[in-house]
Amino acid sequence: MKQLQLIAILILSLTFAGAEAQTTRILFVFDASNSMNGYWESERKINTATSLLSQSLEELYGIENLELGLRVYGHQTVHIPGQQDCDDTQLVVPISSGNNLVIKKELSRITPKGTTPIARSLEKAAGDFTDCEDCRNIIILITDGIEACDEDPCAVSRALQEKNIIVKPFVIGIGLDEKYKSTFECVGNYFDATNKETFETVLDIVITQALNNTSVQFNLMDDKNEPKETNVGISLYDQNTGENLYNFVHTLNKVGNPDTLSLDPLPTYRAVVHTIPTIEVTDLRVTPGQHTEFDIPAAQGFLKFEFSGRSEYESLQCIIRRDCDIVHHQPFDSEQRYLAGSYDLEILTTPRIHLDNVEIKPNDETRIAIPSPGRLMLNTGTMGFGGIYLIEKNELIQAIKFDEGDPSGRYILQPGKYKLIFRSRSSNQTLYTIEKEFTISSGSNTTINLN
C-alpha cells in the first residue's frame, strides 16, 4: 500500500459556449493501481470506489444528452519494485449513450495490479472524445495516489488548456501528509476525506457540476450599495483558457431585482462589465446546485457636453481620460454614463480645451458648457509659414500651424485674444515676419487681409 493515500477527482472540460442544451460526455478515468488493494475503513479502497461509482452510474441512467465512457490505468501489468509499466492505461468502454451498465460490469472485473501513470492517462484521455462542435467533454479522474511515473500532471493540464480544455479539479485526501497537499494545487481544490461518506458527497458534487447549470445573479451596486445599476453589457470568459462563454445585457426584472441567468458551474469565470471605463472581476466561482450572487461596485453618473449658444462645429469630440488612460471619445451635444469618479477632459476645439479633475457623481449629471466659437477670415495672398497663437497670460499657445501652402481661408476658433505670425515663402529674412493681434468673440466674424 502506498504511503500517500488519496482520492483525486480532476475535471477537465473541453468546449462549452452558451446556455443552450448540449450533449454532455463524461469519461471516468479510474485508478486500478496496486495501492487500490489497500484498506480504507476496514474495506478495500477498490471495493469502496467501484461500489460508489456504480451507484452513481445507476442514478445517471436514462438522462438525455448524456454519454459516458471508462478509461482504466494500472490494471494490466503487475507492479514490481523498480519496474513499472507507465503505458498501462486503456480505454475500456468507449464514450457512448446508454452504456451505464456496461461500465458498471467492467468496474466489477477490475483487479488492481500496477502503477499510477496519471499524467499519461490524462493525455490519452483527451483523445478519447470524438470531434463534436456542441458537446461538453468532461474527464473525472478517480485515484488514490500521486503521479508515479516521474511525469507532471500539471504540465499536461496546461497543455490541454492551450487546446481549449478547461481544468477544474476536486481532490479528496485521505490521511495525506501536509507537505504533499501542494501536489494538486496546480490543478485543483483540495478536500480532506476522513471516510467514504465524504468521498460519496464529493463525487455527487462533481457529477452535479458536470450535468447541471445553476442560477447566477450579477448585482451592479450603486453608491448606496444597492443593486440598482443596470442596462450594461457583461461578458464572461473562462479564466483559464480566455474563451468567451457568455454575453448578455444586464437587466432588472419586473420587481426591480437583477435578473438571473443559468451558468455552467465548471469554469472559473472572468467578468468584464462594459461600463465606461470597463470593470473586470476575476476568480468568479459558481456554487453548483445553489443560487450564486456576485456583487460588483458600479456606481455611475452622467456627463453631458453643450454649447452656450450656436456652434459651427460639425462634429466636435471630447477625449475622456482616467489615470492617464483614454476611456472614451464623446461627441458634443450628447450624454453618456461613466463610473463615478474623477476624469480629465480634452475638448477638441481650436485651440483645445483641457479640463482636469472633473468629478462625475453617482446618479447625477455633470454638465460641461463651453462658449460658442467665432470665425476668422484670413487672406494672405501668398504661400508661407507661421501660425495662429492664443495669447494666455503673456504666453503664446499654438492653435494652428501653417504649412508651406497658402493659409488663406476660414477658421473656427474659440473666443479669446490671438496673434497671427506669418512670413511668406518668398521672403528669406526674419524681419519680413508679420505679426497681427486680433480678438475672436462667440458668433462673430473677424477678417484679416495681408495682401
14-69 pLDDT tens trace? 433 344 567 888 889 899 988 888 888 788 888 888 888 898 888 888 888 899 99
Of the pLDDT bands very low, low, confident and very high (cuts 50, 70, 90), residue 451 is confident
Mean pLDDT on 257-263: 84
Of the pLDDT bands very low, low, confident and very high (cuts 50, 70, 90), residue 177 is low
DSSP structure string for 288-339: TTS-EEEEEE--EEEEEEEESS----SS-EEEEEETTEEEEEEESS-EEEEE
Partners of 294 in beta bridges: 218
Determine the Cα–Cα distance for residues 362 and 345; give it in Å rounded to an integer. 18
Please check whether the two domains, 214-297 and 300-370, share a CATH topology.
Answer: yes
Which architecture, in CATH terms, is 300-370?
Sandwich (2.60)
Lowest mean pLDDT among 176-185, 230-239, 250-259, 361-370: 176-185
Grid cell at residue 109: 472485473
Lowest mean pLDDT among 10-19, 326-335, 336-345, 365-374: 10-19
Residue 9 has pLDDT above 50, yes or no: no
* Residues 6 or more apart in contact with residue 180 via CB below 8 angstroms: 4, 146
Q: In the prediction, which pLDDT does 48 show?
A: 86
Q: In the prediction, which pLDDT does 5 show?
A: 41
10 Å CB burial of residue 361 (0-12, 13-18, 19+) is: middle
- Comparing 426 with 170, the larger pLDDT belongs to 426
417-448 pLDDT tens trace? 999 999 999 888 898 999 999 999 998 999 99
Residue 378 has pLDDT above 70, yes or no: yes
- Comparing 368 with 203, the larger pLDDT belongs to 368
pTM of the entire predicted model: 0.64
Of the pLDDT bands very low, low, confident and very high (cuts 50, 70, 90), residue 11 is very low
Residue 126 has pLDDT above 90, yes or no: no
Of the pLDDT bands very low, low, confident and very high (cuts 50, 70, 90), residue 3 is very low
- Comparing 375 with 264, the larger pLDDT belongs to 375
Q: Supply the mean pLDDT for the chain.
A: 85
Domain ranges of the chain: 5-211, 214-297, 300-370, 374-449
CATH of domain 374-449: 2.60.40.1120
Residue 50: φ, ψ to 5°? -70, -35
Q: In the prediction, which pLDDT does 293 show?
A: 92
Residue tagged 464572461 (cell numbers): 236
Residue 187 has pLDDT above 70, yes or no: no
CATH of domain 5-211: 3.40.50.410
Of the pLDDT bands very low, low, confident and very high (cuts 50, 70, 90), residue 178 is low
61-120 pLDDT tens trace? 888 889 999 999 999 998 787 788 999 999 999 999 999 999 999 999 999 999 989 889
The yes/no answer on whether domain 214-297 falls in CATH 3.30.420.40 is no
Percentage of the chain modeled with pLDDT above 70: 86
Partners of 244 in beta bridges: 237
Report the run of H or E that residue 431 belongs to, with start and end: none
Range from 14-23, 272-281, 301-310, 331-340 that averages highest in pLDDT? 272-281
* Residues 6 or more apart in contact with residue 173 via CB below 8 angstroms: 6, 7, 181, 190, 191, 192, 193
275-292 pLDDT tens trace? 999 999 999 998 776 788
Q: In the prediction, which pLDDT does 132 show?
A: 80
Q: Where are the beta strands (DSSP E) in 39-149?
A: 39-40, 43-44, 66-73, 89-96, 135-143
Report the run of H or E that residue 432 belongs to, with start and end: none
